[in-house]
Amino acid sequence: MKSSKGTQAILLQDVEKLGRKGDVVNVAPGYYRNYLGPRKLAESATDARVAEVQRQEELRRRHEAQSEEQARDIANTLSRTVLTIKERAGIEDRLYGSVTSSDIADAVWKARKIRVDRRKVNLEEPIKTLGSHLVSVTVWGDVKATMKVMVVPGAAGEEGSVEAFEGEPAEPLDE
């Protein structure tokens, strides 16, 4: 589908200075053909594919908080959630990698089917040690939840596996 501004493409991944995954963007034909297409960063925007992406976006919106009352319900659920993330660790309980805000956002989705934007997971620095950590999450506006994230040792094939269970509400972080 061509327009006077260029070629329409659907982004398959976030592309810096262009858009986020799922966005329909206008780009120069050569940029799509030589950069976005070969790197699998975007695909051509057909009418059917655009409709499918909009349907997926609508489903995603349903999983996000849309009102303060809904946000408080989600915050209550998150504050009672204890995430257990398995990662490989070396001596002195140091992780070989780290647990980032993206990992925590993905873990919340896997465990509770609640969509949390990685930028709203408030981590000063990525988690680099085993143990229990309190993590603050901005759910919507000024509604925040503090949840407990336990990083435990895992075998080589278990990295990134997630478990969640109900626990006592985590104490809010002093900010």
Query: What is the average per-residue pLDDT within 132-156?
Result: 86
Tell me: pLDDT of 101 over 70. yes
156-174: per-residue pLDDT in tens? 665 556 666 666 655 555 4
32-41: per-residue pLDDT in tens? 999 998 999 9
Return the higher-pLDDT residue of 121 and 67.
Answer: 121
pTM, to two decimals: 0.57
Tell me which residue of 96, 71, 99, 101 sits closest to 85, measured CA to CA.
99
Tell me: pLDDT of 124 over 80. yes
Query: Of 3.40.50.720, 3.30.70.270, 3.40.5.10, 3.30.70.20, which CATH number belongs to 2-62?
Result: 3.40.5.10
Residue 91, φ and ψ in degrees, nearest 5: -70, 155
d(CA 40, CA 115): 24
CATH architecture classification, 68-166: Roll (3.10)
In the chain, what are the domain boundaries? 2-62, 68-166
- Expressed in angstroms, the distance from the first to the final Cα of the chain is 50
pLDDT-derived band at 26 (thresholds 50, 70, 90) equals very high
pLDDT at 167: 61
